[in-house]
Structure 1
Amino acid sequence: MSVTTILFVASCIRLAPGDDRRDGGSVDATQQVPDTGVADSGAGCPAERPEERIAAATTISSDTTWDCAHDWILDGDVLVTGGTLTVEPGTRVRAADGAMLLVAKGARLVAEGTRAAPIVFGPSTEPAAPGQWRGIVLLGAAPTGLNSTTSRVPDTLDAGDARGAFGGNVADHDCGSLRYVRVEFAGDSDAAGNVVDQPAAGLTLAGCGTRTRVDHVQVHRSSDGLGLVGGRFAASHLVITAPRFDGIEWGAGYTGFIQFAIVQTFPDATAALKGSRREGQPVPPAGEPEANPTLYNVTLVGARGTGPDGGANGTEVGVALQYGSLGSVHTSLVQGFEGYWANVLDAETAARVPMFGIRDSVFVDAPASTTRGQFPGADEDGDEGMDESAYFRMATAGNRFPGAALMRNAYALPGTEPDFTAGLAVIADEPFDDGPSEWASDYVEADYRGAIPPVGETPGARDALDWTLGWTRYPAD
């Protein structure tokens, strides 16, 4: 393909609504990023800001605003039980070790930054590590697969505390809006890297309904990245980088929609995408939702031998489904996993074929060092003989296996900025489906696979097309 052709194709690719790469500016893809991700200044925010400390066990019960004139320090758990907590563009919120920001189902969190002035939630102590603070938990009253209005995210509030409950019958429940937000070094894990409390995710949404908005959100170096517990809402432009365990995990009846998401796994992580119920949890009662999200234009990046021991024969998986969880992944790009590209982990899930699937996606770059292969065969793992390799390679699935790596620098470890863009090639090959009809108002037509439009080799194309630039950061600690 000539340079002229590449330039034409790149210039015609549609930018997703809400993407402000049109407003100029550029980022050097090779630059070293700051050691911390809380140094942004924008929207008229001062570079030096006095600290405003929020005492442990503070309850916010009416409309409250945190502005960028201060650094907001959470000395312990902060609960929002009523009204709306508004966090303005460029604001930095820093939490003490183990602290949590929990927004109950009678309240909302509105944190809407901009590309030039993202909102950053991170730890107040350095150096930082995954699980340094508990993260953000949003609770809603939308239906879940738990058939309860009093379900709770474990180990958030005591069982008798009604403020910790989620679930209900309000399908359009509004947990708030997150836009151009970064959550860093959150979740919960001990020094050995084992999850000791839930939520393990840096950002957890439980029982949030269709009016909830999540757009341009990065969760970096957390125990798990994004936890979706029941509810139903659309999310887009997600960047989950270097999680200790799972990237995006869903369960308990989450039936939402995700488009344009990137998950870059940490060496020896568990899975980039994981559908799960708690082991032994029953299938939801008749009429109650079960976990079955729809995902389009996802880029999943394995660690590909970047661990201290080279990562050979590692365990990270691109897509993992277990305990009967469902989910469908379309027009996506899966590259460089030391374990499997995709794996069905048990007989309960295997029995539900063909209720889940990966369709019209590209799988590349399974390392030659691995002894596991690209998909497990019929004689591997505990799924009662399901042959994932045959299933995901069926001609009707429309998946492609070009062999060579497509992304430029997707494996960069924390401390340097990765480049998740790719050339045209198979990513832009026809045909494409028409998208999910039930999410027609949220689905954005995209004539490419993966989360970012292909940029080819055209100078400057990345600046115009890569929606991750300008607001994400990748600190090591």
Structure 2
Amino acid sequence: MKSVRTWACVYGLAMLAACGDDETQTPDPSAQGDTCEAGQETCEVTQNITSDTTWTKDHTYVLKANVFVKNATLKIEPGTVIKGGFNTSLAITSTAKLDAQGTATAPIVFTSMVDVGSRQAGNWGGLVLLGKAPLNVQGGVDNIEGYPESADTQYGGSDAAHNCGTLKYARIEFAGYRLGGNNELNGLTLGGCGTATTVDYVQVHRGLDDGVEMFGGTANLKHIVVSLADDDGLDWDQGWTGKGQFIVVQQNRVVGNHGIEADNSSSSPNATPRSNPTLWNVTLIGSNRDKGSAAQTQGGAILRVGTAGSLNNAIVAYFNDFAIDIAGPDSIREATEDRLTVKNTTFWSTKLTYDATSFAVKSSSDGSDFNEWSKLGTQAEPTNTVVDPKLSKALYTAPSTATPNPVPDFKPETALAGGTPPADGFFDASATFRGAVGDTDWLAGWTAFPEL
């Protein structure tokens, strides 16, 4: 096998120092861990990867720094385990590519180096993919959150078809960390990735921040599971215009925030390209607890500060505070002019009675009199329904001795007919049901829901 190339990139507790250029720094010989020999069970990765490298399933790779892949392809074989600890992460820069293709029987697992039974959200940083697709920020290029700014952290450009690589049949567990307010790494972060990128059959479990966050770009998502994130399930901003199908979010019962949190641009709500993703077959499951018992507001989807988009064939159930909140005058305009739509969607909650005054938390974010029921309710949008999807087995329940890792079931007991997704080469047009799971349980075999 090829050697694992590493480069020390040491981060302090009080302040993080950016990695410099490989050619101008002198390696510390004491930090070398360059070779992963045959028969070596654990391989430490302490340096950046700057040549084509393959990680194989007969080794466990332990990240010892924030590792950046630059001007190279990192290939990860099915069944490979990668572990991270405090102040470690794996970032594929815009000059590199990831080739991580697991299988349903041998998924690739990114997890915590902490012993099983003691793991928790935020044990390590997470996985970051950076590309050169368009953003709506000034200048078209930005630095990804979670790191000190450097050439390695830049993303964005004009290549809408940029390829960040392939991530398929993979789990990302106990990841994410915060450097400060609104500056954090998520379980999976995509910045400026283009349409040639493949993200399919990916689970993010027990992350400290969001499960998956899309910073602009045009990348598509398929077969995504976000379970028990500390913040939002799917988050987008900076002009994401991709597609998504078969997306599941299971909310953390205490600290989880929104199933979807969507923005265009907080600094410039009408910046272009405007965030405008198209989503089909989505299941958003709340915590099913009385309002006030959670640490923060919990809602199905908050669509705000200028985002447009389309949500179709969805189930939004068991959220305590609201199902859908369209917030801010710019997103309200997108909704009233039918550029922000929710159709063929079923709502249900044990907390709210769905009527003209309580479909969502009225004026929760924008101070306006906009009433979501008047636009998305069953009379205004007859394809939407208020029906119990009977997904109580998808609710998070604390494990017991008998069932230490309860496996949720996201398939409704009775099929709920929806619309027909477009036959455009990406969407599965046969998925004419509501929610993310139909007759075939595509989560079986490769997902996992460990408590610790």
Q: TM-score range by the shorter chain?
A: 0.7 to 0.9
Instruction: Give the conservation status (yes or no) of the 8 Å contact 2:264–2:305.
Output: yes
Give yes or no for the alignment of 1:78 onto 2:63. no
| Cα-to-partner distance string for 1:83-142 (whole Å, 9 max, x where unaligned) | 210010000000111211111101001111011100000111242222221111111011
Q: CA separation of 1:330/1:413 partners in 2, compared to 1, >3 Å: closer, same or farther?
A: same
SS in 2 for 1:260: strand
Instruction: Give the conservation status (yes or no) of the 8 Å contact 2:178–2:184.
Output: no
Matching residue within 373, 379, 401 for 1:389: 373
| Cα-to-partner distance string for 1:323-371 (whole Å, 9 max, x where unaligned) | 1122210011111101101102223322322320110111113326999
Name stretches of at least 5 consecutive residues in structure 2 with no aligned partner. 1-38, 399-404
CA distance in 2, matches of 1:449, 1:317: 19
Instruction: Give the conservation status (yes or no) of the 8 Å contact 1:339–1:370.
Output: no
Deviation at 1:188, TM superposition (A): 1.3
- Structure 2 equivalent of residue 102 of structure 1: 91
CA distance in 2, matches of 1:321, 1:352: 10
Give yes or no for the alignment of 1:256 onto 2:247. no
CA distance in 1, matches of 2:155, 2:407: 37
CA distance in 2, matches of 1:412, 1:443: 29
Instruction: Give the conservation status (yes or no) of the 8 Å contact 2:290–2:320.
Output: no
Bigger relative contact order, structure 1 or 2, given CA contacts below 8 A and separation 6+? Answer: 1
Matching residue within 208, 218, 221 for 2:206: 221
CA distance in 1, matches of 2:296, 2:91: 35
Letter in 2 for 1:208: C
Give yes or no for the alignment of 1:449 onto 2:431. no
Instruction: Give the conservation status (yes or no) of the 8 Å contact 1:408–1:422.
Output: no
Of residues 77-86 and 390-399 in structure 1, the stretch that sits farther from structure 2 once superposed is 390-399
Of residues 340-349 and 397-406 in structure 1, the stretch that sits farther from structure 2 once superposed is 397-406
| Cα-to-partner distance string for 1:294-313 (whole Å, 9 max, x where unaligned) | 10000110010199x855x9
Matching residue within 279, 287, 295 for 2:266: 279
CA distance in 2, matches of 1:230, 1:368: 34
Of residues 146-155 and 168-177 in structure 1, the stretch that sits farther from structure 2 once superposed is 146-155
Which residues in structure 2 correspond to 1:158-237 (within 5 Å)?
Answer: 158=149, 161-189=150-178, 196=181, 198-222=183-207, 223-237=209-223
- Structure 1 equivalent of residue 278 of structure 2: 294
Name stretches of at least 5 consecutive residues in structure 1 with no aligned partner. 1-47, 455-464
Matching residue within 128, 136, 142 for 2:133: 142
- Structure 2 equivalent of residue 22 of structure 1: none
- Structure 2 equivalent of residue 462 of structure 1: none
Matching residue within 402, 407, 412 for 1:422: 412
Instruction: Give the conservation status (yes or no) of the 8 Å contact 1:317–1:341.
Output: yes
Instruction: Give the conservation status (yes or no) of the 8 Å contact 1:141–1:167.
Output: yes
SS in 2 for 1:350: helix
Deviation at 1:184, TM superposition (A): 0.7
CA distance in 1, matches of 2:318, 2:97: 38
- Structure 2 equivalent of residue 376 of structure 1: 361
Instruction: Give the conservation status (yes or no) of the 8 Å contact 1:97–1:123.
Output: no
- Structure 2 equivalent of residue 31 of structure 1: none
SS in 2 for 1:409: helix
| Cα-to-partner distance string for 1:65-84 (whole Å, 9 max, x where unaligned) | 01011110001110101121
CA distance in 2, matches of 1:473, 1:124: 17
- Structure 2 equivalent of residue 93 of structure 1: 82
CA distance in 1, matches of 2:159, 2:316: 35
Q: CA separation of 1:243/1:142 partners in 2, compared to 1, >3 Å: closer, same or farther?
A: same
Give yes or no for the alignment of 1:125 onto 2:114. yes
CA distance in 2, matches of 1:231, 1:323: 18
Instruction: Give the conservation status (yes or no) of the 8 Å contact 1:61–1:80.
Output: yes
CA distance in 1, matches of 2:354, 2:379: 26
Deviation at 1:199, TM superposition (A): 3.5
- Structure 1 equivalent of residue 8 of structure 2: none
- Structure 1 equivalent of residue 450 of structure 2: 475
Q: CA separation of 1:368/1:251 partners in 2, compared to 1, >3 Å: closer, same or farther?
A: closer
Q: CA separation of 1:447/1:49 partners in 2, compared to 1, >3 Å: closer, same or farther?
A: farther
Give yes or no for the alignment of 1:324 onto 2:297. no
| Cα-to-partner distance string for 1:179-213 (whole Å, 9 max, x where unaligned) | 100001111148xxxx6563442100111011000
| Cα-to-partner distance string for 1:400-423 (whole Å, 9 max, x where unaligned) | 434434225010346311111112
Query: When the two structures are superposed, what TM-score results if normalisation uses the length of structure 2?
Result: 0.83
Q: CA separation of 1:81/1:149 partners in 2, compared to 1, >3 Å: closer, same or farther?
A: farther
Instruction: Give the conservation status (yes or no) of the 8 Å contact 1:84–1:108.
Output: yes
Deviation at 1:273, TM superposition (A): 0.8
CA distance in 1, matches of 2:52, 2:279: 34
| Cα-to-partner distance string for 1:200-251 (whole Å, 9 max, x where unaligned) | 4210011101100000000001121001011102211000000101100011
- Structure 2 equivalent of residue 35 of structure 1: none
Deviation at 1:150, TM superposition (A): 3.2
Aligned length in residues:
400
Q: Alpha carbon RMSD of aligned pairs, Å?
A: 2.5
Q: Work out the percentage of aligned pairs sharing the same amino acid.
A: 30
Letter in 2 for 1:244: D
CA distance in 1, matches of 2:87, 2:210: 15
Letter in 2 for 1:154: E
CA distance in 2, matches of 1:424, 1:355: 31
Q: CA separation of 1:162/1:419 partners in 2, compared to 1, >3 Å: closer, same or farther?
A: same
Instruction: Give the conservation status (yes or no) of the 8 Å contact 2:276–2:310.
Output: yes
Of residues 215-224 and 297-306 in structure 1, the stretch that sits farther from structure 2 once superposed is 297-306
Matching residue within 390, 397, 408 for 1:406: 390
Matching residue within 240, 251, 265 for 2:251: 265
Which residues in structure 2 correspond to 1:339-350 (within 5 Å)?
Answer: 339-350=321-332
